[in-house]
Chain A
Amino acid sequence: QITLKESGPALVKPTQTLTLTCSFSGFSFTTIGVGVGWIRQPPGKALEWLAVIYWDDDKRYSPSLQSRLTITKGTSKNQVVLEMSNMDPVDTATYYCAHTLSVGYIDYWGQGTLVTVSS
């Protein structure tokens, strides 16, 4: 059974760097094709894909946010970390991590974590 769970601060100040951790179980990066991605959703708005990292350490980013994003595998082999720098109130959103295969659709989602950017 695949599960994912996001963790990180609920509140960050403008200009700070957000660090989110995705802890997962039921799969591993030893499986060819496995990827873990991040998607966010501002309150009342649509989904926005941010980044994905694959079993072979290939990484892809949203071009509009690439300069601010870093996705890495965590120190624990069942974690993925997303860093987003220079946070702004418009980055207030629920951030989801998700499982994908290299095909590209998202078949398992975490429950999401709401991050508010405010001074």
Chain B
Amino acid sequence: DIQMTQSPSTLSASVGDRVTITCRASQSISSWLAWYQQKPGKAPNLLIYKASSLEIGVPSRFSGSGSGTEFSLTISSLQPDDFATYYCQQYNSYPWTFGQGTKVEIK
């Protein structure tokens, strides 16, 4: 199985901050990576696919980058609605695997 490791596990930030979350794969996954946002009690919501493609309807302050084993999700200016937990997921090979999540908290 491909292991996905996110850092940090928790991130404290203020509205307006630029924040970056990192996801590392245990082996190369090319660009087959997605990012999801999850709020408490809700299903995850797709933000980014193929490492850097923005899902329709997702605000442009979200962006993704990387390839191979190192990836990042950046929120250019954190908004109140962005406080949530974020997960990366590789779909290069089965079994699909998720990172452990990064919780973005209010500072």
A interface residues (Cβ-Cβ under 8 A, vs B): 46-49, 52, 60-64, 96, 103-107, 109-112
Contact = CB atoms under 8 A, between A and B. Distances in A.
Nearest to A102: B91
A105 B89 contact: yes
Contact of A46 (B45, B96, B100): B100
Contact of B96 (A104, A109, A111, A112): A104
Contacts, number: 55
A20 to B, nearest CB: 15
B44 interface: yes
A33 B83 CA distance: 34
B12 to A, nearest CB: 19
A46 B101 contact: yes
Contacts of A110: 43
12 contacts: A47-B89, A48-B98, A49-B95, A49-B98, A52-B96, A103-B49, A103-B91, A104-B92, A104-B96, A105-B34, A105-B89, A109-B44
B43 A111 contact: yes
Nearest to A97: B43
A106 B35 CA distance: 10
